[in-house]
Each structure stands twice: as C-alpha cells, then as structure tokens.
Amino acid sequence: MLKKIFYKNKSNKKVISYSAQRWTQDEEFDPKWELRNKVIASYINCPGIVADFGCGKMTLERYLKPHNVYLPIDFHRRDDRTIIFDVNHDPFPHINAAIAVCSGFLEYVEDIDRFVRGLETCSFKEVIISYCTTEHSPDLKIRQALNWVNHLSIFDILNLFLPTFNLSAIDDVNKNSIFVWLKK
C-alpha cells in the first residue's frame, strides 16, 4: 500500500514523499469516483481531444462522446497513450487538446498557481475540474490524512481560474464540487 518516506530538505522542514507504488492498485480507487467521471463527461460538449490529468483507471474514457478522443495523463503509465507527468516535479507538458479534465487531482498539486498557469498556456477551450473544497471537507486533519497538499475553498478556486476562464457551470457530486470553465 502507501509507504511514506520522510526526509529533510535544505530549509530543514520535514517533507513527505510518497512511494511510487501509490495509485497502482485497483482498490485505491473509490467506486464513487465513477459517478463523478460520468457527470464530468456530461459537461463535455465540444469535439476534440480530452486531456485527463491524473487519469487513474481511465474511467472517464468510457463516458465520452464519439467525437472526443481520450488522452490519459498520469505519473504512472496506464496504457501506450499515457503522457507521463508528475505535476509536483515535471515542467508542464505542451498538450494540444480542446478539453482538460482534472478529476480528484488538484488536491495533490503542491503549486496550484503554477498548474493553473500551465493550463492557461495550452489550447484548452474548456477546463473541467472536480475538487473537494473546504466547504465540503473542512477538517484539516482528515484532509492531511488523505495526503491532500492544499486546502482551498470555492472562493479560492474561483479566484484561481476567473482571470482566464469564465465559469460555465458548477455542480456537486459526492462532496466534490465540479467546475466547468470556458477559456475567455
């Protein structure tokens, strides 16, 4: 299962690194996430490539419309199409896709501002994210126990995306807020 490795960086702060085995076993993926992916897919209305950041078991693909092409992105190779990307260590990849999906992914991003700037530089017309905001899950100890590295409110999410994107829809599935953004 998940093995935590503690080490100290140059600033003498304790840093947690997670074993490369994380998110490799089917039992690590909650079956409730299937519904979240189905709802997310229902908001994808434009044709083109769908870049699925943190694709996991790639369940989003089965709900896409025929005019969409699926592009899995993860830090583990899920199949031959997978773009390997460690969001906390790698430079943002140049991706030529119409839609970006981040489902249950942003909670693990250490530098959210850098990630959102990366989304802004790509050709995405639509960005759909799900995020468990502090309104739905306010207990910091529980959030940290889930290895979430950031703790944002709905207002924080809005402030991150509104400079470049227009909010098209907002939804809620199993305590996950789903935000549908269209590029300005």
- For the segment 9-56, what is each residue's pLDDT rounded down to a tens digit? 344 443 334 434 454 555 555 556 578 999 999 999 899 999 999 888
pLDDT at residue 6 above 50? no
CA 159 to chain centroid: 17
pLDDT bucket at 1, cuts 50 / 70 / 90: very low
pLDDT at residue 81 above 60? yes
Domain ranges within the chain, ordered by starting residue: 30-183
Q: How far apart are CA 155 and CA 176, in angstroms?
A: 14
Q: How far apart are CA 36 and CA 142, in angstroms?
A: 21
Its CATH class, for the domain covering 30-183, is alpha beta
Write down the pLDDT at residue 31.
Answer: 55
pLDDT bucket at 75, cuts 50 / 70 / 90: confident
Could you tell me the two tokens for 121?
Answer: 């530089």
Could you tell me the two tokens for 85?
Answer: 């990307």
* Burial 25-49, CB ≥16 within 10 A → b, else e: eeeeeeeebeebbebbbebbeeebb
pTM of the predicted model, to two decimals?
A: 0.83
SS3 string, the chain, reads: CCCEEEEECCCCCEEEEECCCCCCCHHHCCCCHHHHHHHHHHCCCCCEEEEEECCCCCHHHHHCCCCEEEEEEECCCCCCCCEECCCCCCCCCCCCCCEEEEECCHHHCCCHHHHHHHHHHCCCCEEEEEECCCCCCCCHHHHHHCCCCCCCCHHHHHHHHCCCEEEEEEEEECCEEEEEEEEC
What separation in angstroms does the CA of 143 have from each of 49, 150, 176? 32, 9, 13
109-165 tens-digit pLDDT: 999 999 999 999 999 999 999 999 999 999 999 999 888 999 999 999 999 999 999
Compute the residue count for the chain: 184
Write down the pLDDT at residue 25.
Answer: 52
Write down the pLDDT at residue 112.
Answer: 96
